[in-house]
Amino acid sequence: MLYIDGQWRKSESEFNVYNPANGEVIGTAADGNKSDTKNAIEAAKTAFASWSKLTAYERSRYLYKAYEIMMERKEDLARLMTLEQGKPLKAARNEVQYGADFLLWYAEEAKRIYGEVIPAPRKDQRFIAIRQPVGVVGAITPWNYPISMITRKVAPALAAGCTVVLKPAEQTPLCAIEVFKVLADAGIPKGVVNLIPSSQPAVIGEELLTNQDVKKITFTGSTEVGKYIAEMAARNVKRVSMELGGHAPFIVFEDADPVHAAKGVSLVKFLNTGQACISPNRIFVHSSIAETFTETLMDRVRKLKAGNGLEEGVSIGPLVDEAAIEKVHLQVQDALEKGASIKLGGERLNDNGLDKGLFYSPTVLSGVTKEMRIYREETFGPVAPIITFDHDEEVIEMANDTHYGLAAYVYTQNLSKALSSFEQLNFGIIGINDINPTAAAAPFGGMKESGLGREGGREGIDEYLETKLGGFSI
């Protein structure tokens, strides 16, 4: 179903939604088109006139209510996510909580949109600056985190006083529908939030980018698509914020505990089957501790169980589609041809009924060098490439040698080394002995080709606000 102007509507056609763990159809979703998108934008434009004039306290109450409803439905939402996206149920529960956290955080931040009085150079002059919502927001969200990436955009937009038209990933529309049921049941007025599921992302995206009534685009996805969106948005002078690809380095310095570091990387590398923009893609380990680190990592990876995320003990879910399997496998084969060694994995999983799904074995590579594709390209899969180094200056240079700049990780017991690495690494998010440097209260975003702007924290709401200056002569 489409959700437009406070009503659930049928579309002219529908498309099937599949479980990537077994290929089965689990439901259908409305296949929104250009006309549907125009109607949603018009509804959002009309609703903006009244929604933007509500007090911050009034908007806050709606977000608090949505948070409460999402928490009540946490288990059902998590189970649907596992069916539709594939991640293990425990990880799905964590994501629903993370998604709800954004509703709660921005329910509070709505009341902290401050202006300021600015000293003027003339005695008869006064300056007052206020913050106001930008208008209708076009939001485009990904499949890998199909609930939290919606609330991370919608919650600050609503808190700021904006209205939203959202196009979810075509792989995970059912999760988006359930999130919008939460928002509708929270009583959010008609037209304030609008949902256009579609199997035609280019058609919906083009309307959002070219329609003059859409004042801002927020996007999470690939760098390639992000560049196109930024270009198109610039032609119409639309504000843009985007969280794009990553190629995170994971640095294990000589003084680090190699066992502790290997346990950490095993948890974050294979989270969501490696399908996360902050997933470590290049694991730099000092040569003096590389053997211990690698053996510990292999011990951890051997215990990972692939399968349907609803089954007990499963920690590795499927990849999203055949193209993802092919990309991962080609990177592994390229590395092998250029001298890398497979320590574990390196193949598609077909045993025990996994042949019906999209599973790739958790893989550990050693002997990875700069000439290999996996060193340069984002993997988005369950492959841990290990690169050894001998000097601290060398590893910082190697870590920064990428067009991406989203996340990085550092393991060290030396405070000076931790601080200098934090300052020298050209990434927007740095985990220092920390594999989860994210929270609703913290700014999230990248440098270089990993994006523009920040989501989360107090910075997240700034993306949806304009500054207006008043000069008064008295």
| Of 373, 383, 427, residue with least CA distance to 403 | 427
277 assigned to active site: yes
Question: Who contacts 453 (Cβ-Cβ below 8 Å, separation ≥6)?
Answer: 240, 241, 242, 445, 459, 463
- Which residues face 16 on adjacent strands? 28
**DSSP symbols for 369-424:** -TTSHHHHS---SSEEEEEEES-HHHHHHHHH-SS--SEEEEE-S-HHHHHHHHHH
- Is-contact 292 300, C-beta < 8 A? no
- Is-contact 86 136, C-beta < 8 A? no
Kindly give the pairing relationship between strand 14-18 and strand 465-473: unpaired
162 assigned to active site: no
CA 4 to chain centroid, in Å, comes to 25
| Of 287, 297, 288, 286, residue with least CA distance to 260 | 297
DSSP 3-state percent helix, strand, coil across the chain (nearest 5): 40, 25, 35
Q: Among the options 178, 243, 378, 463, which is catalytic?
A: 243
Burial group, residue 277, by CB count within 10 angstroms (0-12, 13-18, 19+): buried
Which spans in 3-88 are helix H?
34-51, 56-72, 74-85
Q: Among the options 95, 109, 162, 277, which is catalytic?
A: 277
Q: Tokens 């434009």 map to which residue?
A: 45
Per-residue CA distances from 418 to 76, 247, 274, 467 (Å): 41, 20, 25, 37
Catalytic machinery residues? 243, 277
